[in-house]
């Protein structure tokens, strides 16, 4: 089986991060190995949350993985808590020869998430430069590049060495989806938008994309599957419950 290391937080409510990544990768037939970057009562988009900073264990956990000779076909990353943790993960990635998908979790809706200071964002940019595919939303794309135009921001990242940029959460004429930029080609995948805001859609997108690429699909085909999956799950989710994440469990079997 293909093996994927997943660096992300575990949040009790919000059905995002590892709580979404693990079942989705498993449903894709990929062996998922969680590396918790933080433990939260609930994700940070709720009014309040409690967070356990476990970043002091990052190096000890990575040293132990090295001792075990852990090798991975894929690495997926999401939420981090500080720059030193990100730098340790960059060293780990360089020691592997794997497909690297970075979801540069930093913010949404034009705002940074709480705790994402300049130093942390700079380290996440460095992490992106080690990736095969990155999956920023518009806010994250602009933080990464300082640009405020999607096309030129994506071009800038491609020029700095990222092989593919899948920009998520783009909206146009009642539709929502992503545009995938590679040096050779740009393709867009959109579906009808339902509801307004749902927690965890970026995590669901990134884990479907990673799972499908590890199963042999190219980035365009994997992005199409991921857009359709997120859209179908949103349609099946009670909108009053949107903060609790989307009901992807109802359709896991299509993966
Ligand atoms: O879905 C991104 C994400 C991941 N992890 C935590 C978050 C968020 C978004 O708010 O708060 C803890």
- Main-chain dihedrals φ then ψ at residue 34, nearest 5 degrees: -75, 140
pLDDT digits (tens, 9 = 90+) for 95-124: 999 999 999 999 999 999 989 999 999 999
Rounded CA-CA distance 189/167 in Å is 10
Q: Which residues contact 138 (CB under 8 A, 6 or more apart)?
A: 150, 167, 169, 170
> Model's pTM, two decimal places?
0.97
Q: Is 43 in the pocket of ligand 1 (CB under 6 A)?
A: yes
Alpha-carbon separation of residue 243 from 15, 55, 172, 195, 238 (angstroms): 9, 26, 23, 12, 10
Rounded CA-CA distance 74/119 in Å is 26
Residue 45 CA: nearest ligand 1 atom is 10
- Main-chain dihedrals φ then ψ at residue 75, nearest 5 degrees: -130, 130
Pocket test for ligand 1, best of 50, 79, 112, 204 (most atoms within 8 A of CB): 79
Residue 78 CA: nearest ligand 1 atom is 4
Q: Is 124 in the pocket of ligand 1 (CB under 6 A)?
A: no
Q: Is 79 in the pocket of ligand 1 (CB under 6 A)?
A: yes
Helix, coil or strand: residue 69: coil
Give the DSSP H/E element, type plus range, for residue 18: helix 17-27
Cα 26 to ligand 1 centre (Å): 21
Tokens of 112: 């940074």
Q: Is 222 in the pocket of ligand 1 (CB under 6 A)?
A: no
pLDDT digits (tens, 9 = 90+) for 185-235: 999 999 999 887 888 999 999 999 999 999 999 999 999 999 999 999 999
């Amino acid at each position: 089986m293909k093996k994927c290391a997943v660096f992300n937080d575990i949040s009790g409510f919000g059905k995002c991060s590892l709580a979404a990544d693990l079942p989705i990768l498993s449903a894709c037939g990929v062996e998922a190995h969680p590396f918790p970057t933080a433990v939260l009562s609930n994700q940070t988009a709720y009014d309040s949350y409690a967070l356990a900073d476990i970043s002091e264990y990052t190096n000890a956990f990575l040293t132990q993985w090295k001792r075990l000779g852990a090798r991975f076909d894929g690495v997926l990353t999401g939420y981090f808590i500080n720059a030193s943790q990100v730098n340790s993960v960059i060293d780990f990635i360089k020691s592997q020869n794997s497909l690297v998908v970075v979801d540069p979790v930093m913010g949404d809706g034009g705002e940074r998430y709480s705790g994402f200071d300049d130093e942390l964002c700079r380290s996440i940019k460095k992490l992106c430069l080690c990736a095969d595919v990155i999956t920023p939303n518009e806010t994250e794309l602009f933080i990464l590049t300082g640009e405020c135009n999607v096309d030129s921001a994506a071009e800038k990242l491609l020029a700095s060495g990222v092989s593919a940029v899948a920009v998520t959460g783009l909206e146009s004429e009642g539709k929502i989806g992503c545009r995938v930029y590679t040096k050779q080609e740009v393709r867009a995948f959109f579906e009808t938008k339902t509801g307004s805001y749902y927690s965890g859609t970026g995590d669901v997108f990134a884990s479907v994309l990673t799972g499908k690429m590890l199963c042999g699909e190219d980035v365009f085909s994997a992005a199409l599957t991921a857009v359709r999956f997120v859209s179908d799950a949103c349609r099946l989710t009670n909108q009053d419950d949107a903060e609790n994440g989307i009901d992807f469990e109802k359709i896991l079997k299509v993966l």
